Structure 1
Amino acid sequence: MKKLSLVLGCLFALLFITCEGPQGPPGFDGFDGLDGRDGIDGQDGVNILGKVIDIEGTFSEENDYGLLFEFPQTIEVFETDVVLVYLLWDQTEDSNGEAVDIWRLLPQTRILDQGLLQYNYDHTFLDVNIFLESDFDLGTLQSGDTDNQVFRIAVLPAETAQGSKLDLSNVYNVMGRLSVEEQNIQLIKLN
């Protein structure tokens, strides 16, 4: 008899729980008087995409075999950003006969008849200084090593470079990460 009472009690409780009745009153809107509506729009944030630019200049005794490029107001560089400089080393042709640039990440060392020549750079968040170093008199360099040299400067936000498996030696990988296309890169000629 106890089992029958227990089974009937459970069945009755189950039927009572599953029955629908009239709908109750609506609940309260949100907490602390907030009704769940959107808040006021904030200010737009800074778009941290990075920047890539090309510069062209000639190394000479007058500029102490260095090219100083100051970042313009349009390029904001932070102390934590990564600044990379690539030298336009050569050009080749693709299968369609179109020119393809070959870039090398600095520093780059050349072995010349006079000795070792190195293209190197340093930077701050204000500028990039590209310079030549050698174990011989730089005045003996051929014009091909000094005149109208083209460099590509890439500024990567720290967030982009940290913990990344990005191959920094490949300028095209860096440009892809920054969503920069070749035709959008500005060339600045230095005096």
Structure 2
Amino acid sequence: MMKNLLLFLAFTSMIILTSCEGDQGPPGEPGINILGQVFEVTVDFTPGNGFSQVVDFPNNVEVFESDAVLVYLLEDVIPGNGGNIDVWSQLPQTFFVGDNTLVYSFDHTFLDVRLFLDGNFDLSTLGSAFTDDQTFRIAVVPSEFANADLSMEQLLQTINLEVTDIQSIGN
């Protein structure tokens, strides 16, 4: 009989405790995009700036020391079905100019990105095609993407971001 009473109390307690419902709590803070952010910048490389440009992260982009920063160069725009298609190349990117080697590269902190040209020749002899109005997309993503060799399209898909969401910043 005691066994039946204990079984009845356990069953009743289980029903009472699992059917409790209270008021809904207050709404939480708005979510943040933990998958990453991408922004775009166009720069000129000149002898006056040492063929280097420092780009500060926009105020709405929070960068942690553990985040990966990936940079892509707009290398070309080609015609496609329904419009132009951008061709992006992940940095560092090497070009052969005659017998010389030119490299677009970058380094970064959690505050900014430095875009720069490097080469085995006098960079002031470069034509404007390599130095003026160079457009870059800078992606800040969790460190698990640090070793990923993702195209710009793959990266945007992975972090669930549309091209129209990319912020263009002035420099």
TM over 0.5: yes
Structure 2 partner of 1:57: 43
> 1:38 offset after TM fit, Å?
6.5
CA 44–134 in structure 1, closer or farther in 2 if over 3 Å, else same:
same
What SS is found at the alignment partner of 1:83?
A: strand
CA-atom RMSD in angstroms: 2.8
Aligned residues: 160
Identity among equivalent positions (%) equals 36
Native 8 Å contact 1:122 1:130 kept in 2: yes
Q: Deviations along 1:33-70, whole A, 9 cap, x unmatched?
A: xx664684584375213111110010001111011101
What SS is found at the alignment partner of 1:145?
A: helix
Aligned pair partner of 1:154 in 139, 157, 169: 139
With structure 1 as the length reference, what TM-score do the two structures score? 0.73
Greater RCO (CA < 8 Å, at least 6 residues apart): 2
Largest Rg, 1 or 2: 1
With structure 2 as the length reference, what TM-score do the two structures score? 0.81
Aligned pair partner of 2:106 in 113, 121, 131: 121
Native 8 Å contact 2:58 2:169 kept in 1: no
Native 8 Å contact 2:45 2:131 kept in 1: yes
Find the aligned partners of 1:156 and 1:131 in 2 and give their Cα distance: 21
Letter paired with 2:88: W
> 1:161 offset after TM fit, Å?
2.7
Find the aligned partners of 1:188 and 1:72 in 2 and give their Cα distance: 8
Deviating more after overlay: 43-52 vs 107-116: 43-52
Deviating more after overlay: 44-53 vs 174-183: 44-53
Native 8 Å contact 1:110 1:117 kept in 2: yes
The runs of 5 or more residues in structure 1 that have no matched partner are 1-16, 18-22
Aligned pair partner of 1:144 in 105, 119, 129: 129
